[in-house]
C-alpha cells in the first residue's frame, strides 16, 4: 500500500512539476555576469566549481587552497587538475550547490555525471555551448525566466528584456572612512560637507533610480553585524559624521560607526518609502567558510519594519537557517515578504520542509519562490529546476492529504514564481 501511495504521489509531483514549468518565472535575486564576460572567458567543467558556493563546500570537505589553485587554473593540464579535484568532489557532489551545476550539465550539455571520463568531453561541450545570444536561449527559452532581478553595487545598464537592476545602498549607509565620501562625491558630482547633504543625496539617488525603473534597493548590513538598528538622534549621527570627515573616525564596526550606520539605514528606508521602492535585505547565512552567524536572524528588523509600514521588506534568503522566525515576521507584518533565493541549493530538503510550513502559516501572496543568487546561467537553470521540483513535491503532499485542491496548488505556484515578485518589484506585463 505504502509503495503504491508513494508511486501515486511521485506521479502527481511529476505532473505538477510539468505544470509549474509553464509558469513564467521572475528570478528575484541574481548575480549573473554579463554575457560578454562569459564569451570572453569560456569555462571548462571544473571552473563552474570555482564559484564561491561550491568552492566553500570543497573547502569544508578539506580541500586546501593550494589544491584549489591548481584545480581552477585553466593553464594547467586538465588531468592534473582533475586528480586534485576528484577526492573532494566525491564528498561534495550531492550538495545542492553541486546538484544545480550537474542539472545544468545534464539538461543543457547532455552529460549526466562529472567523472574522469566525462570531464574532458564536458569541458569541450561547455566551451562550444556559448555563443552570442546564449543567455536569451538559456534564460528565456530553456529556463522560462521572464526577467532576472540583478544585484549590483551601483546602477549600471543591463539588457532590460532579460534583467531588472537592483542597486545597493551599502556605500551610502556603511561608511568606513572619509575616502568613501570622497568616492561618492566623485561618482555623483556633488560636494558633501555635512550629514544632511548625504541624506539629501540618498533621497535623490532613490528618486533617480525609481525613474529609471529599478526593482528596488538592496542593503547587506548582516554581513558584519546584527540587524538591531536603533533610531538615533540626528545631532548624534551628525557629530560622528563630522569626525569621519576630519579623519577622527574609529570605523564602521565601532560604537560610533554603529550610531552613524543606524541613522543612515533609517534614512535609506525613509527614502525608499518616499519613492515606493522595495527594500531587499540580505538576511541569513553568509557566503564563504567559517562565517559568523551574528547577522542571520531577521527578528531584530521588526522595529524598522514597524517604523516604515509602507516599505515592502524583502527578506532575501528568508533568514536561513532562521526560516521560522522569518515566517513569523511575514505572517504578522503586512509589509514583509519571504524570498526563497539561494535556499533551494543551500538545503533542498530544508527548503521543502519550511515551504510546507509556510504554505499553511503565511498568506501565500507573501512568498517569492526563486532567486538564483549565482553567476553562471547553466547553474541558474539547474537551480530553477530544483526550486520547481521542491514546490511540486510539497504541493503534491498537500493535495494527497486533502489540504488543497490541485487548482489551488497551481495558484500557489503561480503566485510564488510569478505574480508575487512581479507585484513586489514592479514588473510590467
pLDDT digits (tens, 9 = 90+) for 72-82: 999 999 999 99
Report the distance separating Cα 286 and Cα 295, nearest Å: 8
Closest alpha carbon to 190 in 205, 209, 168, 176: 205
| pLDDT tens string 244-275 | 999 999 999 999 999 999 999 999 999 999 99
Report the distance separating Cα 321 and Cα 295, nearest Å: 11
Closest alpha carbon to 366 in 334, 402, 406: 334
In whole numbers, what is the pLDDT of the chain averaged over residues?
Answer: 95
Q: What is the mean pLDDT of residues 36-51?
A: 97
Q: How confident is the model at residue 288 (pLDDT cuts 50, 70, 90)?
A: confident
pLDDT score of 7 more than 60: no
Helix (H) or strand (E) holding 163: strand 163-167
| pLDDT tens string 185-201 | 999 999 999 999 999 99
| pLDDT tens string 98-107 | 999 999 999 9
Report the percent of the chain where pLDDT is more than 70. 98
pLDDT score of 36 more than 70: yes
> Which pLDDT score, from 0 to 100, does residue 295 have?
73
Q: How confident is the model at residue 429 (pLDDT cuts 50, 70, 90)?
A: low
pLDDT score of 4 more than 60: no
> Which pLDDT score, from 0 to 100, does residue 294 have?
75
Q: What is the mean pLDDT of residues 209-227?
A: 94
The long-range contacts involving 47-50, CB below 8 angstroms and separated by at least 24 positions, are 47/72, 47/74, 48/101, 48/126, 48/376, 48/378, 48/379, 49/85, 49/89, 49/98, 49/101
310 Rama sector, left if φ>0, alpha if ψ -120 to 50, beta otherwise: alpha
DSSP sequence for 29-70 = EE-PPPHHHHHHS---TGGGGGSHHHHHHHHHTT--HHHHHH
> Which pLDDT score, from 0 to 100, does residue 92 have?
98
> Which pLDDT score, from 0 to 100, does residue 175 have?
97
Closest alpha carbon to 382 in 129, 421, 374, 339: 374
> Which pLDDT score, from 0 to 100, does residue 291 have?
76
Within 10 A of 277 (CB to CB), how many other CB atoms are there? 25
| pLDDT tens string 57-94 | 999 999 999 999 999 999 999 999 999 999 999 999 99
pLDDT score of 1 more than 50: no
pLDDT score of 421 more than 80: yes
C-alpha cell belonging to residue 78: 586538465
> Which pLDDT score, from 0 to 100, does residue 270 have?
98
Q: How confident is the model at residue 323 (pLDDT cuts 50, 70, 90)?
A: very high
Residue recorded with cell 555576469: 33
> Which pLDDT score, from 0 to 100, does residue 293 have?
78
> Which pLDDT score, from 0 to 100, does residue 111 have?
98
> Which pLDDT score, from 0 to 100, does residue 8 have?
54
Q: How confident is the model at residue 6 (pLDDT cuts 50, 70, 90)?
A: low
Q: What is the mean pLDDT of residues 303-320?
A: 95
For the whole model, what pTM was predicted? 0.95
pLDDT score of 369 more than 80: yes
Residue environment code for 366-395, b if the CB has 16+ CB neighbours within 10 A, otherwise e: bbbbbbbbbbbbbbbbbbbbbbbbbbbbbb
Amino acid at each position: 500500500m505504502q509503495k503504491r501511495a508513494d508511486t501515486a504521489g511521485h506521479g502527481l509531483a511529476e505532473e505538477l512539476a510539468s505544470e509549474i514549468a509553464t509558469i513564467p518565472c521572475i528570478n528575484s535575486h541574481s548575480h549573473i555576469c554579463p554575457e560578454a564576460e562569459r564569451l570572453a572567458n569560456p569555462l571548462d567543467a571544473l571552473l563552474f566549481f570555482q564559484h564561491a558556493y561550491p568552492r566553500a563546500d570543497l573547502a569544508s570537505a578539506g580541500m586546501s587552497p593550494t589544491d584549489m589553485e591548481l584545480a581552477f587554473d585553466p593553464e594547467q593540464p586538465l588531468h592534473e587538475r582533475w586528480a586534485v579535484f576528484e577526492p573532494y568532489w566525491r564528498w561534495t557532489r550531492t550538495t545542492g550547490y553541486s546538484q544545480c551545476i550537474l542539472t545544468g550539465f545534464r539538461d543543457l550539455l547532455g552529460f549526466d555525471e562529472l567523472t574522469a571520463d566525462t570531464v574532458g568531453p564536458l569541458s569541450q561541450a561547455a566551451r562550444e555551448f556559448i555563443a552570442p545570444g546564449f543567455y536569451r536561449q538559456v534564460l528565456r527559452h530553456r529556463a522560462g525566466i521572464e526577467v532576472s532581478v540583478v544585484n549590483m553595487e551601483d546602477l549600471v545598464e543591463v539588457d532590460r528584456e532579460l534583467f531588472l537592476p537592483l542597486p545597493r545602498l551599502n556605500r551610502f549607509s556603511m561608511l568606513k572612512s572619509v575616502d568613501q565620501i570622497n568616492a561618492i562625491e566623485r561618482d555623483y558630482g556633488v560636494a558633501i560637507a555635512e550629514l544632511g547633504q548625504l541624506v539629501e543625496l540618498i533621497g535623490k539617488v532613490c528618486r533617480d533610480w525609481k525613474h529609471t525603473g529599478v526593482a528596488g534597493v538592496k542593503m547587506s548590513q548582516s554581513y558584519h553585524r546584527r540587524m538591531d538598528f536603533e533610531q538615533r538622534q540626528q545631532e548624534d549621527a551628525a557629530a560622528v559624521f563630522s569626525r569621519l570627515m576630519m579623519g577622527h573616525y574609529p570605523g564602521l564596526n565601532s560604537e560610533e560607526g554603529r550610531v552613524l550606520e543606524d541613522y543612515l539605514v533609517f534614512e535609506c528606508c525613509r527614502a525608499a518609502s518616499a519613492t515606493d521602492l522595495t527594500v531587499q535585505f540580505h538576511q541569513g547565512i553568509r557566503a564563504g567558510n567559517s562565517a559568523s552567524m551574528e547577522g542571520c536572524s531577521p527578528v531584530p528588523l521588526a522595529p524598522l519594519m514597524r517604523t516604515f509600514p509602507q516599505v515592502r521588506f524583502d527578506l532575501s534568503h528568508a533568514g536561513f537557517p532562521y526560516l521560522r522566525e522569518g515566517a513569523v515576521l511575514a505572517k504578522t507584518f503586512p509589509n514583509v515578504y519571504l524570498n526563497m533565493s539561494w535556499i533551494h541549493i543551500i538545503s533542498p530538503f530544508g527548503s521543502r520542509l519550511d515551504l510546507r510550513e509556510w504554505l499553511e502559516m503565511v498568506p501565500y501572496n507573501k512568498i517569492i519562490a526563486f532567486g538564483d543568487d549565482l553567476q553562471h546561467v547553466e547553474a541558474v537553470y539547474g537551480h530553477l529546476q530544483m526550486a520547481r521540483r521542491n514546490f511540486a513535491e510539497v504541493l503534491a503532499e498537500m493535495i494527497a492529504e486533502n489540504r488543497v485542491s490541485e487548482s489551488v496548488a497551481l495558484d500557489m505556484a503561480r503566485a510564488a514564481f510569478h505574480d508575487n515578485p512581479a507585484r513586489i518589484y514592479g514588473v510590467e506585463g
